[in-house]
């Protein structure tokens, strides 16, 4: 029995069901373009917002019943949390979870104790995973909450903080490996600055590059086969984060020779905060060959901060889903609900309702993407738009058959006079809207 035992395992009951605690759209075995819905979505619950966040905000303390939280989390409290978390995961029926080291373990005073506490809880996590068949999508280190990390971890002016962070990552990377994790995430929460006046930007980037190279080397040394992922975010908590978006991460990886080793974990509201569309970030990552995984949530259109709300708008997510489906889907990645309840969502069962709604939203977007692909019109319109690049001139240009001046000669002599054509944006948009009928 736990806080979450009131609700029976969540099942698919179809669109006509009046049961709030049932999936209306998410039917895990339903085939979508030849693959199970569950395999397209690889649904994941995050430990931190769901079980570790008490509902505090900058004006007040926790409101949510989370009896395993307190001023100092003991081993007994960590175990109570683990029981409740796996009770919830199993009843919700998702295949994956994610966690930070500090989300799961008893609080430690020294690094040595940190390593020991993490090992101790990891043994119990492994038992829960074996019993429930729930898998670990990724592990990560919390390198941003403790005051020692106020000026960053890998980018801290003090190398002792760098060393402390290295130890923490070493422990959790090894724990992730032992638990069969499919990825390892680094979110550079405080790897950035509040003012450039006191900051050596190049030096900090070099140290961040060194840190990431050490993580990659260690991954190979221990034989971890998962993917190393960086999660971009433009700001919050620092004013400027080095990993501000996918393009900045790619430039960083290229500069430090890591493009073949590291991919990105793209979060919906981090893209929004960067002033970019979520689907843009996915398309950019696919184009650069570094697409990895998704943290799914949404912001609030009137708030410029990270509200981490559960997704509820399938039409908004459909262009992104289309990108993912057309790229063949997630490889080692998943859809991780990096989303939290609102402060007034006091009923323990609200956590089920939030995830059920989020999961059905993703399922709707997936079915809409399928409808767009099956109908073929969308692809045909795009093909027509770029048809010239599959004809003689376009092919020759891309086969390096012209220089700038020979192409200029050709353009002059052949008397070309290209006419502007409609981009048909409204038609493309109406196809997406029309496909969102699930």
The site for Co ion (CB under 5 A) is made up of 267, 295, 338
Concatenate the DSSP letters of all residues of 153-216 into one string. Answer: STT-SSHHHHHHHHHHHHHHHHHHHHTT-SEEEEE-TTSEES-GGG--HHHHHHHHHHHHHHHH
Q: Is 347 a catalytic residue?
A: no
The partner in contact with residue 219, picked from Co ion, ligand XUL, none with C-beta cut-offs of 5 to 8 angstroms by kind, is none
Nearest C-alpha neighbor of 138 from the set 167, 85, 99:
99
Nearest distance in Å: CB 338, Co ion: 4
In 75-132, which ranges are continuous DSSP H helix?
Answer: 75-92, 101-104, 111-132
Nearer to Co ion, 80 or 269 (CB): 269
The partner in contact with residue 280, picked from ligand XUL, Co ion, none with C-beta cut-offs of 5 to 8 angstroms by kind, is none
Distance CA 288, CA 198 (A): 33
Of 24, 233, 355, 364, the residue at the interface with ligand XUL (CB under 6 A) is 233
Distance CA 217, CA 323 (A): 32
Report whether 193 contacts 247 (CB < 8 A). no
252: its two tokens = 């960083």
Nearer to ligand XUL, 52 or 318 (CB): 52
Residue nearest to ligand XUL (CB): 187
Report whether 314 contacts 361 (CB < 8 A). yes
Of 2, 80, 102, 140, the residue at the interface with ligand XUL (CB under 6 A) is 140
Distance CA 340, CA 57 (A): 12
Nearer to Co ion, 296 or 359 (CB): 296
Nearest distance in Å: CB 102, ligand XUL: 10
The partner in contact with residue 233, picked from Co ion, ligand XUL, none with C-beta cut-offs of 5 to 8 angstroms by kind, is ligand XUL
57: its two tokens = 């905000």
- Which 65-124 positions form the footprint of ligand XUL (CB under 6 A)? 100
The partner in contact with residue 140, picked from ligand XUL, Co ion, none with C-beta cut-offs of 5 to 8 angstroms by kind, is ligand XUL
Distance CA 285, CA 271 (A): 12
HSE value, Cβ hemisphere, 13 Å, CA-based, for 397: 12
Q: Is 214 exposed, middle or buried (0-12, 13-18, 19+ CB in 10 A)?
A: middle
Nearer to ligand XUL, 25 or 362 (CB): 362
Angle (nearest 5°) at CA 406 between 401 and 407:
75
The partner in contact with residue 191, picked from ligand XUL, Co ion, none with C-beta cut-offs of 5 to 8 angstroms by kind, is none
Nearest distance in Å: CB 367, ligand XUL: 27
Among 49, 100, 114, 177, the one annotated catalytic: 100
Nearer to Co ion, 12 or 138 (CB): 138
The partner in contact with residue 66, picked from Co ion, ligand XUL, none with C-beta cut-offs of 5 to 8 angstroms by kind, is none
Of 187, 208, 224, 337, the residue at the interface with ligand XUL (CB under 6 A) is 187
Q: How many angstroms separate the first and last alpha carbons of the chain? A: 36
Nearest distance in Å: CB 334, Co ion: 12
Nearer to Co ion, 87 or 101 (CB): 101
Distance CA 151, CA 425 (A): 45
231 binds ligand XUL (CB under 6 A): yes
What is the longest distance spanned by two Cα atoms in the chain? Answer: 82
Nearest distance in Å: CB 46, Co ion: 8
Nearer to Co ion, 137 or 165 (CB): 137
- Please tell me the count of residues contacting ligand XUL according to CB under 6 A: 10
Nearest C-alpha neighbor of 231 from the set 193, 269, 197:
269
Long-range contacts of 145-150 (CB under 8 A, 24+ apart): 145/102, 149/189, 149/190, 150/190
Nearest distance in Å: CB 113, Co ion: 27
Nearest distance in Å: CB 153, ligand XUL: 12
Q: Is 355 a catalytic residue?
A: no
Among 87, 101, 103, 316, the one annotated catalytic: 103
- Which 270-309 positions form the footprint of ligand XUL (CB under 6 A)? 295, 306
List active site positions. 100, 103
Interface with ligand XUL (CB under 6 A):
100, 140, 185, 187, 231, 233, 267, 295, 306, 338
């Amino acid at each position: 029995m736990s806080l979450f035992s009131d609700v029976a395992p969540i099942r698919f009951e179809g669109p006509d069901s009046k049961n709030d605690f049932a999936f209306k759209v998410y039917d895990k075995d339903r085939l979508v373009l030849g693959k199970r819905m569950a395999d397209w979505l690889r649904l994941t619950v995050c430990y931190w917002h769901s079980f570790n966040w008490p509902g505090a905000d900058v004006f007040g303390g926790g409101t949510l019943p989370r009896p395993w939280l307190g001023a100092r989390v003991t081993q007994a409290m960590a175990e109570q949390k683990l029981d409740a978390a796996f009770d919830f995961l199993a009843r919700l029926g998702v295949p994956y979870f994610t966690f930070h080291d500090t989300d799961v373990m008893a609080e430690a005073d020294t690094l040595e104790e940190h390593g020991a506490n993490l090992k101790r809880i990891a043994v119990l996590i492994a038992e829960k995973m074996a019993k429930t068949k729930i898998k670990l999508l990724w592990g990560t280190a919390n390198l941003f909450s403790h005051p020692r990390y106020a000026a960053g971890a890998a980018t801290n002016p003090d190398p002792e903080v760098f060393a402390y962070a290295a130890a923490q990552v070493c422990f959790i990377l090894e724990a992730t490996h032992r638990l069969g994790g499919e990825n390892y995430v680094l979110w550079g929460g405080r790897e950035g600055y509040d003012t450039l006046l006191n900051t050596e930007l190049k030096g900090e980037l070099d140290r961040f590059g060194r840190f990431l190279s050490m993580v990659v080397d260690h991954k190979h040394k221990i034989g971890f086969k998962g993917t190393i992922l960086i999660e971009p975010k433009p700001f919050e908590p620092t004013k400027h984060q080095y990993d501000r978006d996918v393009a900045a991460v790619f430039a960083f990886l290229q500069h430090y020779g890591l493009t073949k080793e590291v991919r990105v974990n793209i979060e919906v509201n981090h893209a929004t905060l960067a002033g970019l569309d979520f689907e843009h970030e996915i398309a950019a990552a696919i184009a650069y060959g570094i697409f990895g995984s998704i943290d799914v949530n949404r912001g609030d259109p009137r708030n410029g901060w990270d509200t981490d709300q559960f997704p509820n708008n399938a039409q908004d997510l459909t262009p992104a889903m289309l990108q993912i489906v057309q790229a063949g889907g997630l490889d080692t990645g998943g859809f991780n609900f990096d989303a939290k309840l609102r402060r007034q969502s006091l009923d323990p069962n609200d956590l089920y309702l939030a995830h059920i709604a989020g999961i059905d939203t993703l399922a709707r977007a997936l079915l809409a993407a399928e409808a767009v692909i099956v109908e073929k019109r969308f692809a045909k319109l795009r093909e027509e738009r770029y048809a010239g690049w599959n004809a003689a001139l376009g092919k020759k240009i891309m086969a390096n058959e012209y220089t700038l001046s020979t192409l200029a000669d050709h353009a002059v002599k052949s008397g070309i006079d290209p006419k502007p054509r409609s981009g048909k944006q409204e038609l493309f948009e109406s196809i997406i809207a029309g496909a969102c009928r699930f």
